[in-house]
Amino acid sequence: MKSFLLLLLLTPCLLLSKTNLIIQDAILKVDIANDPVSRNKGLMFVKHLPEDEGMLFVFEEKQKVAFWMKNTLIPLSIGYFDENKKLLQVENMYPQQTRPLKNYPSKKAIKYALEVNIGWFEKNEVPLGSYFSFE
């Protein structure tokens, strides 16, 4: 039991927190990836993502980033948000079996990235310039 508790204390980055994110009229249950390990893993090996779920990547500093689809099995849309939680850019990303892997870079420095099922932003009528908040 002690070793299990020690493992939990030493690896907090393996335990993702979940929260509700609101954007326009949509509510998403999101896993928060706010450390290097969880951001690197992302949605790798996920076979199904419910329509009302996603993953929010939180970066310590505003920066330009690039995502790829390494070991990602489902097509995704990614929204890049600034430090004010304003949607700046949306890209559709597809699973890829061949190398080199395509990168999906942010055009501007961002603080947040939201991965959802492909087409989610369009389906939920979330235009560029929309803001998200936490429930």
Asked whether residue 129 is assigned to any structural domain, the reply reads yes
Name the residue among 118, 126, 121, 120 with its Cα closest to residue 72. 118
Asked whether residue 85 is assigned to any structural domain, the reply reads yes
Q: What's residue 118's pLDDT? A: 99
Q: Are 48 and 74 in contact (CB under 8 A)?
A: yes
Q: Which two tokens stand for residue 47?
A: 């076979």
Structural domain of 53: 13-134
Digit-by-digit pLDDT tens for the chain (135 residues) are: 444 333 333 444 445 689 999 999 999 999 999 999 999 999 999 999 999 999 999 999 999 999 999 999 999 999 999 999 999 999 999 999 888 999 999 999 999 999 999 999 999 999 999 999 998
Asked whether residue 43 is assigned to any structural domain, the reply reads yes
Asked whether residue 86 is assigned to any structural domain, the reply reads yes
- Give me the number of domains the chain comprises: 1
The residue written with tokens 């390494």 in the block is 70
CATH (domain of 128): 2.60.120.1140
Asked whether residue 64 is assigned to any structural domain, the reply reads yes
pTM reported for the whole predicted model: 0.87
Name the residue among 53, 56, 41 with its Cα closest to residue 111. 56
